[in-house]
Amino acid sequence: MSDQQAAVLESPAQSAAKEQQAAESRRNKPKRQPRYNVILWDDNDHSYDYVVMMLRELFGHPIERGFQMAKEVDNRGRVICLTTTMEHAELKRDQIHAYGADPIIARCKGSMKATIEPVPQ
């Protein structure tokens, strides 16, 4: 047997060690957290200006994107504001609920409704 052929052969102990190392690497790899959508629901008690301002202040969406999202929530009944981890989604939902009433519409008594839902996998 030549030196080149001998270098290719692996002992059973070396094979087992490599497999164990690969298994440990897979176990130690961090898992990605499940993703959640923050959903804003439509109502008739909030103006486009309110929605645009809220989306800008809470999510950092530019005015143009906020207006597009306000149109979508008005036309479709809901819009996804953000996709993120569960903890962050819960925070953003709670911030929407705490944002307060629309000062432009007199009949408005409080904030808009928002929910979170898992992203389908």
Q: What is the pLDDT of residue 16?
A: 74
Q: Is the dihedral of CA 56, 119, 35, 90 positive or negative?
A: positive
pLDDT in tens, 3-25: 555 555 667 777 777 787 777 76
DSSP annotation of 105 reads -
The residue assigned the tokens 């989604």 is 89
Length of the chain: 121
Q: Which domains does the chain have, with CATH numbers?
A: 36-118 (3.30.1390.10)
Q: What is the pLDDT of residue 26?
A: 67
Residue 75's nearest CA partner among 48, 107, 53, 100 is: 48
pLDDT in tens, 43-88: 989 999 999 999 999 999 999 999 999 999 999 999 999 999 999 9
- Residue 93, token pair as written in the block: 């939902």
Cα separation, 80 vs 73, in Å, equals 9
- Indicate left, alpha or beta for 45 from its phi (over 0: left) and psi (-120 to 50: alpha): alpha
